[in-house]
Amino acid sequence: MIAFILAALLAPVVAVTNEPVKLSADKPAGWSKGTRLRGCNARDVNACGSFVPGSLEIRRTPGGQLLKEGTDYLVDAAWGHVGLGTQSSVTHTDTVFASYQYSLLRMDTVQVGPNGKETLKPGIPHISAPVPPAPDTGCRAVAHVFVSRQGAETYPITETAAQAVTRSTPGRIPKTLAKLKAGQPVTIVCWGDSVTAGGNASVPELRYVDVFAAGLRERFPQAKLDVQNISAGGSNSRQWLFPEKFPYRGLRGADNPARFERILAAKPDLVTIEFVNDAGLTPAMVEETYSDILKRLETVGAELILITPHFTMFKMMGFQHMREAEKRPYVLALREFADKHNVALADAAARWEHLWKEGIPYITLLHNTINHPDDRGHRLFAEELWKCFR
């Protein structure tokens, strides 16, 4: 790889001056506590790591008295959140003015022209989910360079997406396939958490459920297809199965959207399940919980496709770098469960595991830097689901 790649210009650092803020009474901590510095925002949360530590100054008025960190205000440098200090001279109702810096990310493309010469094509910076530019006409992409405030890292393209080996299973939904091919009515329920609900797809049409449904209609144009999205952000499967024991957000009865009776009421021919929020389940809990789901679905004659979850932020994965193999016990157990019970599997996790071989660091597909995929990440779910319909 050519030497100048590692010396690529760093992604820009943006300066914000005199942003009006009100300091939260909550101590800033993690992605959910404190007042967000707006420059770091990645749609619904701040982008982890975008705030430049040490860059913050907060003043009573623009150009006025400088407030003191610790005493007047606190800052969570990882997330770019601020709040009142231990003995603040201002209150949570006062407007103060923050000046700070935040950094963007960029993906560049290393391309080889017809003459064999390598050139670097810079991408467009983004707060969390940069996309590498397509190579110029007549050129071939051979690598991407992930550029951040910390430096530049090269990801050679060693395999294509088509070369990804996953454990997605054709042939395990025979009743649904037969109905689709015969042009009969088919109801599919896509059940899950905030990812199934659509976070962070840019538009509803690019949520994986909608992409999946559109692809099925192309494959089976004669079918009378009804695809329903039944999901609740932040939920896990046991909250749906046992709402009284594991209440969802403290809601009860009809006020609680996370009720398994909603799945059964749809009278589905097929149910797909995506719960990244089930990632804390042990193998024994997977066997118990998903066996229960199987039994409940048998009462309405519904077939099932299990979806392995996408990759999430490093801390959740227990990763040190972006080239590590899948090791979450939940995912490994879900694959074993599918084989043991002859249940269909859409192995999205394996596609995310393969991304680095395609020259893509997986975290660039996490729009909120935590657990919500961008449009590209949503499509990976749909592509693995389609494999079950062969």
Look up tokens 């003191």; give the residue.
68
In tens, the pLDDT along 139-170 reads 999 999 999 988 899 999 999 999 999 999 99
Residue 363 carries which DSSP code?
Answer: G
Question: Tell me, what's the pLDDT at 2?
Answer: 47
Same domain, 141 and 218: no
Residue 126 carries which DSSP code?
Answer: B
Report the half-sphere exposure of 139 (CA within 13 A, side-chain side). Answer: 18
Q: How far is Cα of residue 141 from the mean position of the Cα atoms in its chain? A: 25
Q: Which of 125, 156, 187 is the last residue of a domain?
A: 156
CATH (domain of 374): 3.40.50.1110
Structural domain range at position 58: 13-103
Same domain, 47 and 116: no
CA distances from 295 to 57, 122, 241, 264 (A): 58, 53, 12, 12
Same domain, 239 and 116: no
d(CA 111, CA 140): 5
Same domain, 55 and 152: no
Same domain, 115 and 71: no
In tens, the pLDDT along 249-308 reads 999 999 999 999 999 999 999 999 999 999 999 999 999 999 999 999 999 999 999 999
In tens, the pLDDT along 78-122 reads 999 999 999 999 999 999 999 999 999 999 999 999 999 999 999
Q: Which of 139, 156, 173 is the last residue of a domain?
A: 156
Counting the structural domains of the chain, the total is 3
**Residues 6+ away with beta carbon under 8 Å from 335:** 167, 308, 345, 347
Same domain, 233 and 367: yes
In tens, the pLDDT along 26-56 reads 999 999 999 999 999 998 899 999 999 999 9
Look up tokens 């494999």; give the residue.
387
Same domain, 208 and 353: yes
d(CA 66, CA 50): 23
Same domain, 112 and 166: no
> What are the start-end ranges of the H helices in 220-254?
237-241
Rg (CA), the chain: 24
**Residues 6+ away with beta carbon under 8 Å from 309:** 195, 274, 275, 276, 278, 279, 330, 331, 348, 349
Question: Tell me, what's the pLDDT at 7?
Answer: 46
**Residues 6+ away with beta carbon under 8 Å from 50:** 39, 40, 42, 80, 102, 103, 104, 127, 128
Q: Which of 29, 89, 25, 104 is nearest to 59 (CA)?
A: 89
Same domain, 233 and 297: yes
Q: Which of 138, 156, 174 is the last residue of a domain?
A: 156
Same domain, 166 and 307: yes
CA distances from 375 to 164, 200, 302, 382 (A): 19, 7, 29, 11
d(CA 200, CA 378): 9
Mean pLDDT of the chain: 96
**Residues 6+ away with beta carbon under 8 Å from 363:** 311, 313, 314, 322, 369
Residue 25 has pLDDT above 80, yes or no: yes
- Section 311-331 average pLDDT: 96
What global pTM score does this model have? 0.95
Q: Which of 29, 11, 19, 40 is nearest to 368 (CA)?
A: 40
Beta strands 303-307 and 270-274: pairing type? parallel
> What are the start-end ranges of the H helices in the chain?
174-182, 194-197, 208-219, 237-241, 260-265, 283-298, 314-317, 329-340, 348-354, 375-387
Question: Tell me, what's the pLDDT at 8?
Answer: 56
Same domain, 212 and 324: yes
d(CA 357, CA 165): 12
With b for 16 or more beta-carbon neighbours within 10 A and e for fewer, the 220-259 pattern comes to beebebebbbbbbbebbbbbbbebeeeebeeeeeeebbbb
Give the phi and the psi of residue 234 in degrees, each rounded to 5.
Answer: 85, 0
Q: Which amino acid is at 149?
A: R
Same domain, 243 and 361: yes
Q: Which of 232, 269, 363 is nearest to 310 (CA)?
A: 363
- Section 347-354 average pLDDT: 98
d(CA 272, CA 191): 6
β-pair partners for 229:
190
Beta strands 95-103 and 118-121: pairing type? unpaired
Flag the least confident range among 67-71, 134-138, 145-149, 357-361.
Answer: 145-149
